[in-house]
Amino acid sequence: MKKDKKTYIILENDALPTKQQKEKMLAHILSEYHVYKASPAERLFKMITVYPWRFAFCFSTVQAVLFTMIWGTGYTNLILRVFGG
């Protein structure tokens, strides 16, 4: 039983990356980060494509608040009547 545990530990340690491999991965990640800098428009587009439900909820909230500020509670009541609220 002890021999099996030693074998497992050896296999587990062998699967971990070495210090040199870790440094190489870090250098690669950092070099890729410096190469690509997204513009604000690209970041917004990426956020919309990755989290479309957040964008839709935010847009809906802003639209409801703005239109209610412009036309008052009549707008909110109209929308609720149209959608069966």
Domain spans of the chain, in order of start:
1-37, 39-85
Residue 53 pLDDT: 92
- Whole-angstrom Cα distance, residue 27 to residue 44? 27
Instruction: Give CA angle at 59 (57, 65), nearest 5°.
Output: 100
pLDDT value, residue 56 = 92
Low-confidence ranges of the chain (pLDDT < 70): 1-4, 34-36, 85
Alpha carbon 56 to its chain's center: 15
Model-level pTM?
0.44
pLDDT for the residue 1: 55
pLDDT, position 83: 84
